[in-house]
């Protein structure tokens, strides 16, 4: 194979790995919107909190990494429940713009609180996995782990939503909220459970990101917008759409970055997003 082709293949495969991670990150946001009809614009800040949780438990308190990650997932799940009960529930029947603004307020609140509590310096987990070589190509092991865990998360959620009563009720409530009490389902309870699952997915995302990136109070801003745009591109609330959009977006970033420069990858991806908003404003998959 020509050296150019090998690098291109490497870029495509790296895009695939990135796509898996982005797919997982968009999943929680899509689930919340699909079920509760509110956009958690502060979703990436929940991930930031999870990254700090892993960092402090592992580095400061010397917990084993796996235990620190499990605890972080539980903590962010609880954070999701707190967010729902304190902030979302009072605005459930408010105008969408107000819901967006209030979760936007939470975004900056969490950022400021993290700055206050943890300072502005970049914190590194200090875990480095050796790169995995495949022929003449080289991949980051952290990315491979993230890809595998992301796929497991997506599959787990899929099975939960399709094979259990509670999961079916979560899908049902997104189709007709008002009729749920006649099924004996308390919608308020389902919302709390959904918020916990959305939080747990953010926590899982945090565990995978903290393997690859340093954590700092503003890290949410570096991938929060991408997660949100992926959800919009896929059709907000459509989980299948979000998955497809995540892989499309990741290829633009990875392959676009290969042909030009890495910064160009993002420019092309966002330009594609804007163009798609003209062509298919409802997203790839209409809900």
Partner 1 sequence: MLSLEHVSAGYGGFQALFGVSLEVRAGESVAVIGPNGAGKTTLLRLISKLIDPAEGDIRFEEESLKSVPPHAVVCRGIAHVPENRRLFPRLTVEENLRMGAFTSRKKFEQRKEVVYGLFPRLKERKDQAAGTLSGGEQQMCAIGRALMSGPKLLLLDEPSAGLAPLVVQSIFELVRRICAEGYTVLIVEQNIRQVLKVVSRAYLLDAGKIMLSGSSEEFVNSKQIQKAYLGL
> Per CB under 8 A, does 155 bind partner 1?
no
Which of these segments, 53-61, 101-109, 175-183, 206-214, binds partner 1 (CB under 8 A)? 175-183
Can you tell me the distance from the alpha carbon of 46 to that of 80, in angstroms, rounded to the nearest whole number?
A: 8
Minimum separation from the CB atom of position 189 to partner 1 (A): 8
Return the residue of 113, 144, 172, 193 that touches partner 1, per CB under 8 A.
172
Site for partner 1 contains 181 (CB under 8 A): yes
Of 151 and 284, which CB lies nearer to partner 1 in the complex structure? 284
Are the beta carbons of 139 and 72 closer than 8 angstroms?
no
Q: Least Å distance between CB 192 and partner 1?
A: 14
Contact 191, 35 (CB under 8 A): yes
Q: Per rule CB under 8 A, is residue 92 in the interface with partner 1?
A: no
Q: H or E element: which one contains 132?
A: strand 132-134
Minimum CB distance to partner 1 smaller for 175 or for 282: 175
- 81, 171, 266, 284: which one binds partner 1 (CB under 8 A): 171
# of chain residues touching partner 1 (CB under 8 A): 17
Q: Cβ of residue 237: shortest distance to partner 1, in angstroms? A: 12
Distances (CA, A) of 216 to 13, 18, 21, 157, 184: 28, 21, 20, 29, 45
User: 215 has which bridge partners?
Assistant: 123
Which member of 128, 168, 222, 282 binds partner 1 (CB under 8 A)?
168
> Interface with partner 1 includes 165 (CB under 8 A)?
yes
User: Which pairing describes strands 132-134 and 137-139: parallel, antiparallel, or unpaired?
Assistant: antiparallel
Chain centroid offset of residue 258 CA: 24
Q: Does 175 bind partner 1 (CB under 8 A)?
A: yes
Of 210, 284, 207, residue with least CA distance to 242: 284
Q: Pick from 126, 130, 135, 184: which binds partner 1 (CB under 8 A)? A: 184
Which pair of tokens denotes residue 84?
A: 């729902």
Q: Which one, 174 or 251, has the nearer CB to partner 1?
A: 174
Virtual CA dihedral for 251, 254, 259, 260, nearest 10 degrees? Answer: 120
Contact pattern from residue 203 through residue 232 relative to partner 1, giving x for each residue in contact according to CB under 8 A and a dash for the rest? ------------------------------
Q: Which residue has the tokens 């082709």?
A: 5
| Dihedrals phi, psi of 92, to nearest 5 degrees | -55, -35
Footprint of partner 1 on this chain (CB under 8 A)?
Answer: 165, 168-169, 171-172, 175-176, 178-187
């Amino acid at each position: 194979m020509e050296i150019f082709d090998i690098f291109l293949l490497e870029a495509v495969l790296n895009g695939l790995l990135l796509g898996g991670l982005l797919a997982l990150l968009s999943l929680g946001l899509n689930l919340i919107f699909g079920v509760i009809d509110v956009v958690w614009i502060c979703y990436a800040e929940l991930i930031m909190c999870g990254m700090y949780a892993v960092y402090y438990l592992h580095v400061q308190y010397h917990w084993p990494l796996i235990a620190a990650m499990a605890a972080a997932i539980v903590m962010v799940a609880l954070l999701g429940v707190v967010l729902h009960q304190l902030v979302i529930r009072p605005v459930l029947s408010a105008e969408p713009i107000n819901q967006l603004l209030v979760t936007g307020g939470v975004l900056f609140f969490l950022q400021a609180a993290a700055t206050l509590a943890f300072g502005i310096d970049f914190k590194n987990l200090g875990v480095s996995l050796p790169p995995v070589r495949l022929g003449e190509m080289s991949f980051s092991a952290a990315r491979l782990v993230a890809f595998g865990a992301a796929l497991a998360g997506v599959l787990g959620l899929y099975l939960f939503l399709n094979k259990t009563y509670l999961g079916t009720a979560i899908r049902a409530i997104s189709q007709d909220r008002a009729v749920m009490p006649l099924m004996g389902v308390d919608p308020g309870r389902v919302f709390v459970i959904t918020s916990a699952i959305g939080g747990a997915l953010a926590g899982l995302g945090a565990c995978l990101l903290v393997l690859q990136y340093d954590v700092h109070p503003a890290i949410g801003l570096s991938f929060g917008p991408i997660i949100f745009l992926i959800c919009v591109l896929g059709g907000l609330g459509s989980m299948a759409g979000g998955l497809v959009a995540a892989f499309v977006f990741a290829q633009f970033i990875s392959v676009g970055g290969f042909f030009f420069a890495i910064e160009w990858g993002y420019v092309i991806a966002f330009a594609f997003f804007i163009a798609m908003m003209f062509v298919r404003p409802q997203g790839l998959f209409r809900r």
